[in-house]
């Protein structure tokens, strides 16, 4: 039956993001997606991340290891899992397959949070131009998603990104600095960050894109062939350093 479900074209998906639209499904098993264009949009200003004393303490404690792009498929699957307080998910097979293709192309990225070698949280999203579209965030341990978001914001700041789209506002995101803006204001920020015109979306904005790997090049112990990861207390200080930089 699943073979009859038409795939979600990755190029069409990228085009949707450039005009402020993103896909969702009614459930994990839904056969198709619908397109969403919120009247108000949650964004997290990259210079406005709220780093509380407790989160700073968690980051520097060494309790978690955080990585980038180590287990993209695992994060998507974790985000799509049904749990007691969220029995349904908006990530269906179409979305999962499409973002896997975008990841292979370098447009989709994940941040993973690990505790004692176990994947306990993280997030994934789409990178296009100087915009990062946060798709989903998950936590299976206290503060795991907060640590992942701190890592993401630090990475985006280091890489010259200008827009972190969070889609919908939640109390959790608001506590970390996210704010809501109207569609017109959002589109101005989006156009400035992406500004794609004609042709293939990725090709038309490639000359002015954020650098998702910039944070890692500050690590003197990392060779160019290493997986893009940061871990332990060392990563915490690099994250904190990036968060403290003024733009």
Residue 176's SS3 state is coil
pLDDT of res. 227: 42
pLDDT digits (tens, 9 = 90+) for 95-135: 999 999 999 999 999 999 999 999 999 999 999 999 999 99
Interval 76-104 mean pLDDT:
88
DSSP assignment of 213-240, as one string?
TGGGGG-TT--TTS-SB--HHHHHHHHH
Q: Which residues contact 199 (CB under 8 A, 6 or more apart)?
A: none
Confidence of residue 166 (pLDDT cuts 50, 70, 90): very high
* Element (DSSP H or E) covering residue 124: strand 118-128
Percentage, residues of the chain above pLDDT 70 = 83
pLDDT reported for residue 229: 44
**Across residues 65-81, what is the average pLDDT?**
94
Pairwise pLDDT comparison (224 vs 32), residue with the higher score: 32
Q: Whole-model pTM?
A: 0.87
Q: Could you read off the pLDDT of 170-213 as tens digits, one per residue?
A: 999 999 999 999 999 999 999 999 975 444 555 555 557 899 99
108, 125 contact by CB (below 8 A): yes
- What is the layout of strands, in order, in the sheet containing 65-68? 65-68, 108-115, 118-128, 131-139, 163-167, 40-43, 179-182
Asked if residue 64 lies in contact with residue 58, where contact means CB atoms within 8 angstroms, the answer is yes
| Neighbour tally for 5: CB within 10 Å | 14
The pLDDT, as a whole number, for residue 216 is 84
């Amino acid at each position: 039956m699943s073979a009859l479900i038409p795939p979600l074209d990755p190029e069409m998906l990228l085009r949707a993001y450039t005009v402020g639209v993103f896909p969702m499904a009614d459930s994990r098993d839904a056969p198709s997606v619908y397109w969403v264009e919120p009247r108000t949009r949650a964004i997290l200003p990259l210079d406005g991340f709220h780093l509380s004393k407790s989160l700073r303490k968690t980051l520097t404690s060494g309790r978690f290891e955080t990585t980038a792009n180590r287990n993209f498929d695992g994060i998507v699957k974790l985000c799509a899992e049904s749990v007691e307080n969220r029995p349904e998910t908006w990530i269906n097979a179409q979305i999962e397959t499409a973002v896997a293709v975008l990841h292979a192309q370098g447009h989709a990225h994940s941040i993973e949070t690990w505790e004692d070698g176990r994947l306990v949280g993280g997030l994934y999203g789409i990178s296009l131009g100087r915009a990062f579209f946060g798709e989903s965030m998950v936590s299976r341990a206290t503060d795991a998603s907060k640590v992942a978001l701190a890592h993401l914001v630090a990475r985006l700041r280091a890489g010259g990104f200008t827009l972190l789209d969070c889609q919908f506002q939640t109390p959790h995101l608001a506590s970390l600095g996210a704010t809501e803006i109207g569609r017109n204001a959002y589109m101005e920020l989006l156009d400035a960050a992406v500004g794609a015109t004609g042709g293939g979306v990725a090709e038309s904005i490639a000359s002015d894109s954020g650098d998702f790997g910039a944070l890692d090049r500050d690590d003197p112990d990392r060779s160019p062939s290493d997986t893009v990861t940061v871990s332990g207390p060392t990563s915490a200080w690099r994250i904190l350093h990036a968060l403290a930089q003024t733009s």
